[in-house]
Structure 1
Amino acid sequence: MAFLQQNFETLSLHHALTLLAFYQLSRWLYRSMVFSPPFISIPGPKPASWFSGNLGQLFNAKGLPFHQHLSDFYGGMVKVYGFFGDEQLYISDPLAIQAILGTEQECFDETAVFLEANKIIFGPGLVSTTGELQKRQRKLAAPMFSTAQLAKIAPTFYEIAEKLVDVLQREINEQLSPTYSGNAEEKNDEKRVGRAVLDMSEWSCRVSLEAAGRAILGYSFDPLDSPVSNPYTTAIKELIPTLFSLALVRQFAPFLSKLGPAWFRRKLVEWTPNKKVQKVKATSDLMHESAKAILEERRAQLLDEADLGSQDGGRAKDLISMLLQANARAAPEERMGDDELTGQMTVLIFGAQDTTSSVMSRVFSLLATHPDVQLNVREEIRNAYALMREHDRDGTDYVDGKARLSQETVMGLPWLDAVVKETLRLYPPVPFVRRTCTKETSIPYTRTIPDSSNTPVTSLASVSIPKGTTLFLSIAGCNRMRSVWGDDAGEWKPERWLESTQPYSKDVKIPGAFSGMLSFLGGGRSCIGYRFALLEMKIVLATVLSRLVFSPTEERIVWNLAQIISPSVCRAVQRDGRVLVEETKALPLFAASDDMRG
């Protein structure tokens, strides 16, 4: 029986993959015979593979230079290739993106690959639904991120940030202790200069998950006390890189979603002899089971408090409690079922954790390598504490004996604001998204024509986009356009935000949700929780920087493309008597104590 089952599993998987390849090939043959190449006049690189076109370059962990090359060399409208020569567009041109996310947004939507893959992993939440269902979900979720609701959860962010910096301080003290068991040479050197090495990628991930868990779910995933992170943290941290490495396989998700009933599709996944596929399945199962358990716990607690139907949010401070209350008040036809609620929970936690930790990691790294900017931020924080002490005669700004800057003060710190904005502009955590054309349309763009004097000539043009075309919207490319941000668009210059309230061209309108950039996207698919992310990041950064100063180690940091950007280092390890070089996700920085609070 085991032999028969094994062969059935192998045959089923083989047949499924054969059908997938046949489907893609048939689709390409049909389009190539019926239609002429749609983008014959659009420049772009040659396909790297007859089978996968440029997808292997676009979805490569080391592919960030290739993405930048497309915009720098070919301009804002570039032709790239998918499977079997399928012509696609890579767009960073602001005029075209304005049409796609604004005036023509009804003609574009998430790709079927994105929707079906997210439905499998997260369930029917905001990132896997479309049309009226997505609008209904967004309408119910939007009040969770109002100014009033964010004010309720700000104290939670402060509490977690203060806990984090206490733990980091303890780690520094331990590394500088005579009994510390680290490398003797490094220990002596670090002790001499009073510095310790902290992995700020790991701590950014952990604090982001704890902040998301406490603020969104009212649940603590990781109290930060243990030197080892929660399994949920590890699972989420590895999910995006794993999914990204399966990018070519995920292109077949829409086809797989139509293969028989749900139980059969799940069996196909279980039978797939691929460690990465199994890791994604295990992470998805962990997220769903955790979400279901937390949902029942929060619902029972609200019922006990007679708070479920409250009109004003009652005593609830976490966002899911507020969503449950709003859902209970909604008309029956507009309410979300439990599968939608758990889908929302997993999406919100995942989105709040991974992108936020990526931005904070990048900020810590940039400040470490730009000590002058770090000093300006820290001096600004010092002055804010001094002003607080001067005006706070009755101690109302102290919580449990700890000085705490007000939410308004932290959000209004000019240098901190400039650092966060400039980091989001130049290094968006998600460098590109994809869209599919759902209705044939035409969009304008700025054509760039090189000439003999190396001075490019630009002119307005338009391109007709057939239904079914896949588009890559380059967030990083648009955020770095010289026509928008000036000749220094490729430089990290926080001061640009201090020199002007609008440091970008007034002639180009980008429909971004935040400060003229695309980092939180725009239109109907903009990031619903971007104010939540900004509040969390600024509170954590201000709290940590008020007590610690960072500097770079000698290890070379590499930033990887895994849909969401993440840092890594290469380290020599001994295994079976051999010295091997392994790449590890980490952001090692020197950290030293320097309390600026006075």
Structure 2
Amino acid sequence: MTQNPAYKDAWFTPFSRLMLLTILIQAAIVYTSCRLIWRVIRQSRSPLANLAGPPSPSWLFGNVPQLFNSNGWDFHYGILKSYGTAMTIQGALGERLFLTCDPKALHHILVKDQLIYEPFVSRGSVFFGKGLLSTLGEQHKRQRKMLNPVFSINHMREMIPLFYEVTNRLRSVLKKKLDKGSQEIDILHWSGRTALELIGQGGMGYSFDSLTDDHDYHPYRTAVKNFVPLITGPLFFFIGQFIFPLAEKFDFPRVKRFIAQLIPLQRSRNLMHVLDVMYQTSLDIIKEKKKALMSSDPAVVAEMASKKDIISILMRANMLASEEDRLTDEEVIGQVRTLVFAGMDTTSSALARILWLLAQHPEVQEKLRGEIREAQNNGQLSYDQLVSLPYLDAVCRETLRVYPPVNLAATRTVRKDTVLPFSKPVLDSAGKEVTEVFLRNGTNVIISVLGANTNPDIWGPDSYEWKPERWQSPLPESVPDAHMPGVYSHVMTFLGGGRACLGFKFSQLEMKVVLSVLLASFRFSDSKPVVWKMSNIATPAVEGGDGESRELPLLMSLVD
């Protein structure tokens, strides 16, 4: 029996698409309503109701618009000052969230009881596939086991020539711009392009950017640049809580894409385009490498065997791994998408922040430049020379402490009723001191990286001040005694435990190479007033601008 063509065409008419969208919306409303009724019953009995926290402006949205506001710095600093290191936050539809930066609590969440506190991975799965940010349990351990060797110190030493090659290209293009004297340059634009090229070359053996002029870069750069603004804000926090977990369980990619295409929002279409570019580029990279690995040409195989980028090493190790340890093609593609995203915006944000701070503090900039140029008397710095420069290290550590690129770590969901202890008492809603909190199965926990890094009880009364010199003398005993579970310098910028940032050494090396090259050649000064937006990843914008464009204009000049 043949299908009537007219009937087939009618299925895709605007009316039929509208009807399908209406049915899906109605189903979503029924599902959400059921969850809402259960949530209201559950939250009315939540133990978190007895813990102090900021008042909620509304039952419908709670504190979420304040918590994820791009200008929310005052709210964050305010709640940390008022309620200490552990508090209850009102979520959407009456949900009670638990926010903490207490060292003992963080140790339990990230290390001791990490299996109880499950990372919220459905968002990462939708965006990046089955990479490190999107997997749990044994699958996550297997992926980390495969990737650990390529982030070792020995491998970082081998990355140095590649990092200098990319950064020297950046220096050359910036020097051309300053041929006729000092110029105002958007340093965020160039730090983003450089970070992408560094992770492209070092992570995948792939060039995204020639770094020769203002526009010669891969479409991936535009896609990644637009990605964070598109997923920032309270709306996507709600979608992440209610829609993404359902979407992850519904394992029909074509159907999910068809549903997404029905959403009549330009922002949704833009996000789909960005994700398509990210996925297709990652797929192309893996296909080329796989083709080279399987080539019958000995020269091609030998070239592939000599490559030192992360994904090439991973793919070679994957071919030799046992069946139980081997990653699937989708998992390898997921690593590419994850590494590029995790290695680009966070590093470029940190680099831009350091250069902005140096422009604000010219005396620090001159001292740092002097240290770098003195060390460079014998030529390009080796890995060991670079990481041993004390003032450069102090500037990087202090910036990542006071101004972490990601201020709120990924949400954890409690998967078993548990009691979470505190290192210091906090007040409950009645003003009574409590030293622990009961967390019911299903409770969402938010880690305040900003609070953990700037806790006055640990870092002293000047904890919120940017003082690189604090790292050049012994730290207060309260810092090591706090036992903060971070993998880096007693801070939580790169988290800790089994899901700590695997590439933090890679990021540190990138930053130090770029800073050593740029500061030896250029001087950075203030240009226009800049504000930093508290989005998913902190980004600068010109004060009084349109609020959408992200840029960091600094006045640059050549150093004699």
Displacement after TM superposition at 1:477 (Å): 0.9
Q: 1:411 aligns with which of 375, 378, 387?
A: 387
Match of 2:414? 437
Give CA deviations for 1:188-231 in whole Å, capped at 9, x if unaligned.
xxxxxx42111110001000000010111101000111211432
TM-score by length of structure 2 reads: 0.92
Asked if structure 1 preserves the Cα contact closer than 8 Å seen for 2:196 and 2:340, the reply is yes
Q: 1:130 aligns with which of 136, 152, 155?
A: 136
Amino acid at match of 1:556: P
| Cα distance change on mapping 1:570 and 1:119 into 2, 3 Å | same
Asked if residue 447 in structure 1 is aligned to residue 412 in structure 2, the reply is no
**C-alpha distance in 2 between matches for 1:241 and 1:52:** 20
Match of 1:234? 222
**C-alpha distance in 2 between matches for 1:405 and 1:94:** 37
Q: 2:238 aligns with which of 244, 248, 271?
A: 248
Asked if structure 2 preserves the Cα contact closer than 8 Å seen for 1:431 and 1:476, the reply is yes
Asked if structure 1 preserves the Cα contact closer than 8 Å seen for 2:125 and 2:248, the reply is no
- Taking the TM superposition and a 5 Å limit, the aligned residue runs for 1:549-564 are 549-553=523-527, 555-564=528-537
Displacement after TM superposition at 1:9 (Å): 2.9
Does 10-19 or 278-287 show the bigger shift? 10-19
Asked if residue 531 in structure 1 is aligned to residue 539 in structure 2, the reply is no
Amino acid at match of 2:237: A
Match of 1:453? none
**C-alpha distance in 2 between matches for 1:121 and 1:152:** 31
| Cα distance change on mapping 1:458 and 1:479 into 2, 3 Å | farther
**C-alpha distance in 1 between matches for 2:348 and 2:299:** 33
Asked if residue 364 in structure 1 is aligned to residue 352 in structure 2, the reply is no
Identity %: 34
Give CA deviations for 1:498-556 in whole Å, capped at 9, x if unaligned.
01267752321110010100000001110001001001110011111110010111x22
Match of 1:465? 439
Asked if structure 2 preserves the Cα contact closer than 8 Å seen for 1:141 and 1:323, the reply is yes
| Cα distance change on mapping 1:68 and 1:307 into 2, 3 Å | farther
| Cα distance change on mapping 1:260 and 1:44 into 2, 3 Å | same
Displacement after TM superposition at 1:462 (Å): 0.6
Amino acid at match of 1:222: D
Give CA deviations for 1:412-464 in whole Å, capped at 9, x if unaligned.
111110000000001111101211111111111222459xxxxxx99660101
| Cα distance change on mapping 1:371 and 1:247 into 2, 3 Å | same
Asked if residue 100 in structure 1 is aligned to residue 109 in structure 2, the reply is yes
| Cα distance change on mapping 1:298 and 1:428 into 2, 3 Å | same
Amino acid at match of 1:435: R
Q: Which runs of 5+ in 1 are unaligned?
A: 177-193, 389-402, 451-456, 573-580
Asked if structure 2 preserves the Cα contact closer than 8 Å seen for 1:358 and 1:566, the reply is yes
| Cα distance change on mapping 1:372 and 1:288 into 2, 3 Å | same
Q: Secondary structure at the match of 1:96?
A: helix
Q: 1:315 aligns with which of 303, 306, 312?
A: 306
**C-alpha distance in 2 between matches for 1:24 and 1:10:** 21
Match of 1:594? 559
Asked if structure 2 preserves the Cα contact closer than 8 Å seen for 1:327 and 1:336, the reply is yes
Displacement after TM superposition at 1:154 (Å): 1.4
Q: 1:7 aligns with which of 3, 9, 15?
A: 15
Displacement after TM superposition at 1:583 (Å): 4.3
Does 202-211 or 43-52 show the bigger shift? 43-52
Give CA deviations for 1:389-413 in whole Å, capped at 9, x if unaligned.
xxxxxxxxxxxxxx31112111111
Displacement after TM superposition at 1:306 (Å): 5.5
Give CA deviations for 1:105-163 in whole Å, capped at 9, x if unaligned.
1210112xxx2222122111111110111111111111111112111221110111111
Match of 1:454? none
Displacement after TM superposition at 1:370 (Å): 0.5
Displacement after TM superposition at 1:249 (Å): 2.5
Q: Secondary structure at the match of 1:106?
A: coil
Q: Secondary structure at the match of 2:481?
A: coil
Tell me the matched-pair count.
541
Asked if structure 1 preserves the Cα contact closer than 8 Å seen for 2:260 and 2:268, the reply is yes
Displacement after TM superposition at 1:302 (Å): 3.5
Displacement after TM superposition at 1:270 (Å): 1.2
Aligned-CA RMSD value:
2.3
Displacement after TM superposition at 1:284 (Å): 1.2
Asked if structure 2 preserves the Cα contact closer than 8 Å seen for 1:447 and 1:458, the reply is no
Displacement after TM superposition at 1:44 (Å): 1.0
Asked if residue 145 in structure 1 is aligned to residue 151 in structure 2, the reply is yes
**C-alpha distance in 2 between matches for 1:265 and 1:594:** 55
- Taking the TM superposition and a 5 Å limit, the aligned residue runs for 1:74-473 are 74-111=83-120, 115-173=121-179, 176=180, 194-228=181-215, 229-245=217-233, 246-251=236-241, 252-259=243-250, 261-304=252-295, 314-386=305-377, 388=378, 403-433=379-409, 434-445=411-422, 446-449=424-427, 461-473=435-447
**C-alpha distance in 2 between matches for 1:509 and 1:309:** 48
Match of 1:477? 451
Amino acid at match of 1:297: E
Asked if structure 1 preserves the Cα contact closer than 8 Å seen for 2:83 and 2:427, the reply is no
**C-alpha distance in 2 between matches for 1:83 and 1:17:** 19
| Cα distance change on mapping 1:343 and 1:583 into 2, 3 Å | closer
TM-score by length of structure 1 reads: 0.86
Q: Secondary structure at the match of 1:149?
A: helix
Displacement after TM superposition at 1:13 (Å): 3.3
Q: Secondary structure at the match of 2:272?
A: helix
Asked if structure 1 preserves the Cα contact closer than 8 Å seen for 2:541 and 2:547, the reply is no
Does 49-58 or 136-145 show the bigger shift? 49-58
Q: Secondary structure at the match of 1:80?
A: strand
Displacement after TM superposition at 1:366 (Å): 0.3
Q: Secondary structure at the match of 1:589?
A: strand
Asked if structure 1 preserves the Cα contact closer than 8 Å seen for 2:292 and 2:301, the reply is no
Displacement after TM superposition at 1:60 (Å): 1.8
Does 586-595 or 299-308 show the bigger shift? 299-308
Match of 1:40? 49
